[in-house]
Structure 1
Amino acid sequence: MTTVLVAGATGSLGSLIVARLLERGATVRALVRPSNADGGARLREVAAHPNLSLVVGDLTDGAGALVPHLAGVDVVVSAVQGGPEVIIDGQLELLRAAEAAGVHRMIPSDFSINLWGYDYGVNILSDLRRVFAAAFRNSAVARTSVAVGAFPEFFLGPFHEVLDPAAGTFAVWGDGTRKIDITTIPDTAAFTAAVALDPATAGRDIHVVGQQLTVLELRNEVEAASGHRWKLVRRGTLDDLQAEIVRRQFAATSPFQYVALQYQIGMYSGTASLTDVRNADYPDVTPTSVAQYLAGPGASHFEIQAGAQSTEDWPAAV
């Protein structure tokens, strides 16, 4: 039986990864902070599972303190989110602890667009993940990266400024005819659990996807699911998008204010598109279509949201 330690186990993605690993028969250790020593609300439904144990710790504790939690672990899955102190420094402590404990593989917290289709400086969050990836070059722990494209939970929310329920508009940069990659958070968890238990993925970048469709096709799905028309707003060309990114960077007090557009330019230009999609390797994972998502939890995107999002924290995901 494979033993997997999940860091970030109480988060929206991490908790689902824990649940899907347990369903697949893995032994799971959930690394939880002292403030979530009981597993928190998201792990409550699996807290009594016989193959789940909670270990209390934090990446800021350092590699030495993390090593005992990793004894006998085969695979580490990191679903943490944050800035460089988490994605680079914290995950590096986790990697060093994994090396000391003899762990074979680690899945870092990538879960994003294709990190390697564009240069440094295009996307600040991708840059953090690429810097951390370099730490595996001389490591005995094999890196397995999971790329999924964009989460519809974020892409259709206020973060990306695509869908505006108050104005009844759907915005696009460029001509909207290039296919983009969209995978729900639950499907990402299901794929990640399958990848974590697949030793053939050692040292590889695994691309999996829920659905590939153009932004204009996405608008059609939104209209079909909501039952009304959404006015198409063309923001400008991709050159205009790049100019808007630069403008926002000069005025920004937080990366939150421009990083969504950095994701979009990679998606709309195709440089961030997934390649060699491996869904067929995991036939027991049936991805949710955009239509299914919008008919379920995604219907909340059609409602006018009260209050503004914080611009003080690092964005959580694509």
Structure 2
Amino acid sequence: MPTAFVAGATGRLGRLVVAGLRRRDVRVRALVRPGHGEGRKAFAHDPAIEIVEGDIRDPGDRLTRALEGVDVLVSTVFGGAEVIVDGQVNLLRAAEKTGVPRWIPSDFSLAVDELDYGDNDLVDLRKKAGNLTRGSSVVSTPILIGAFLEVVNMPWYKWIDWEAGTFAYWGDGDQPVDFSTYADTAEWTAEAALDPSAAGRTVRVVGDVLTMKELHQAMERGSGRRIEARQLGGVDDLRTEIERLKATAADPMEYIMLQYNWAMVSGKGKLRPLDNHRYPGIRPTSAKEFFRRVTS
């Protein structure tokens, strides 16, 4: 039975990845922050899940002991530079010392390598982490999935207002955009973790590919409601709005959502080629089905 070490195991994606690995008969070591009682309870029912208390920023010797005998390291952490860059690099160095052969970094995003520094502050962190870990003896398998449908459905994303019955978007509405759910992403991650042919390559998998106009139709058909689509401006208008907000923002979160929007509707963040065919056993959730579920 192979062993996987999962960092960020108690997060939304991490828990699903742990479950996906267990369904594939993989022994899991789940990294849980000290004092995280809820995390312990989540995994206490399964003797094949070993809870390891710690943090990816812990001193290397502590992490090294926790990584002994691990076949694949999976990182599902989210956060700022101290987590995505410093923490993941620290974790990888510990994995190198132990001889872990493979790892999956916490990318789970748009086309990271196609975006330039400055296009997206959070993607910049993933690019930096990738550069710092390139050439490691622990072979990387980045997984890119486009945009999470659960995220774009959140009120703070400012796309969909179910109460008002509106959908606001930028661009001409005709650029194909990649979407996936957390659950499908976890399944692909579990599959890739056990796929030796995925070592050293980027896995690009998506649940649905839709233009903004098609996404609007999926909302209406899935929810059974009439949704008014509102075009906020073109791609260049969006870029101008991002720069305006950046000039006075105290926190990148004030404009990061628009940076993701720009990467999607400009086409720069589009994933090519897709690798869904590599994992035919996974039938991902369509946007229409997702909206049916969240509105029923």
Equivalent positions of 1:24-39 (< 5 A) are: 24-36=24-36, 39=39
User: Which of 270, 273, 276 is the equivalent residue of 2:273?
Assistant: 276
Separation (CA, whole Å) in 2 of partners of 1:62 and 1:183: 35
User: Which of 202, 207, 222 is the equivalent residue of 1:205?
Assistant: 202
How far apart are 1:37 and its partner, in Å?
A: 5.1
Q: How many residues align?
A: 296
Separation (CA, whole Å) in 1 of partners of 2:136 and 2:171: 41
1:299 is matched with which residue? 295
Q: Which moved more, 1:20-29 or 1:158-167?
A: 158-167
Identity of aligned residues (%): 46
Q: Secondary structure at the match of 2:57?
A: helix
Gap regions ≥5 residues in structure 2: none
Runs of 4+ residues over 3 Å off in structure 1? none
Alpha-carbon displacement from aligned partner over 1:147-167 (angstroms, at most 9, x marks no partner) = 000001011212321112343
Separation (CA, whole Å) in 2 of partners of 1:250 and 1:82: 23
Alpha-carbon displacement from aligned partner over 1:79-98 (angstroms, at most 9, x marks no partner) = 01100000000111100100
Separation (CA, whole Å) in 1 of partners of 2:21 and 2:221: 34
User: Which of 171, 177, 181 is the equivalent residue of 1:180?
Assistant: 177
Distance 1:124 1:180, change over 3 A: same
Alpha-carbon displacement from aligned partner over 1:62-103 (angstroms, at most 9, x marks no partner) = 222111000000110000110000000011110010001100
Separation (CA, whole Å) in 2 of partners of 1:250 and 1:40: 43
| Pair 1:3-2:3 in alignment | yes
| Pair 1:14-2:14 in alignment | yes
Separation (CA, whole Å) in 1 of partners of 2:273 and 2:200: 15
Q: Is the 8 A contact 1:74 1:103 kept in 2?
A: yes
What is the TM-score normalised by the length of structure 1? 0.90
| Pair 1:90-2:87 in alignment | yes
User: Which of 69, 73, 85 is the equivalent residue of 1:72?
Assistant: 69
Equivalent positions of 1:5-154 (< 5 A) are: 5-36=5-36, 39-40=39-40, 44=42, 46-154=43-151
Alpha-carbon displacement from aligned partner over 1:212-240 (angstroms, at most 9, x marks no partner) = 11111111111122322222211111100
Letter in 2 for 1:2: P
Letter in 2 for 1:175: D
Q: Secondary structure at the match of 1:234?
A: strand
1:303 is matched with which residue? none
User: Which of 212, 216, 221 is the equivalent residue of 1:219?
Assistant: 216
Q: Is the 8 A contact 1:136 1:142 kept in 2?
A: no
Separation (CA, whole Å) in 2 of partners of 1:37 and 1:201: 35
Q: Is the 8 A contact 2:174 2:212 kept in 1?
A: yes
Separation (CA, whole Å) in 1 of partners of 2:44 and 2:273: 36
Letter in 2 for 1:16: L
Q: Secondary structure at the match of 1:200?
A: helix
1:309 is matched with which residue? none
Give the superposed CA RMSD.
1.4
How far apart are 1:209 and its partner, in Å?
A: 0.6
Letter in 1 for 2:230: V
How far apart are 1:119 and its partner, in Å?
A: 1.1
How far apart are 1:40 and its partner, in Å?
A: 4.5
Separation (CA, whole Å) in 2 of partners of 1:91 and 1:122: 22
1:289 is matched with which residue? 286
Q: Secondary structure at the match of 1:138?
A: coil
How far apart are 1:35 and its partner, in Å?
A: 1.9
1:164 is matched with which residue? 161
Gap regions ≥5 residues in structure 1: 301-318
Separation (CA, whole Å) in 2 of partners of 1:174 and 1:138: 38
Letter in 2 for 1:77: V
Q: Secondary structure at the match of 2:78?
A: coil
Letter in 2 for 1:264: N
Q: Secondary structure at the match of 1:181?
A: strand
What is the TM-score normalised by the length of structure 2? 0.96
1:234 is matched with which residue? 231
How far apart are 1:290 and its partner, in Å?
A: 1.2
Q: Secondary structure at the match of 2:35?
A: helix
Letter in 1 for 2:252: P
Q: Is the 8 A contact 2:204 2:275 kept in 1?
A: yes
Separation (CA, whole Å) in 1 of partners of 2:123 and 2:82: 14
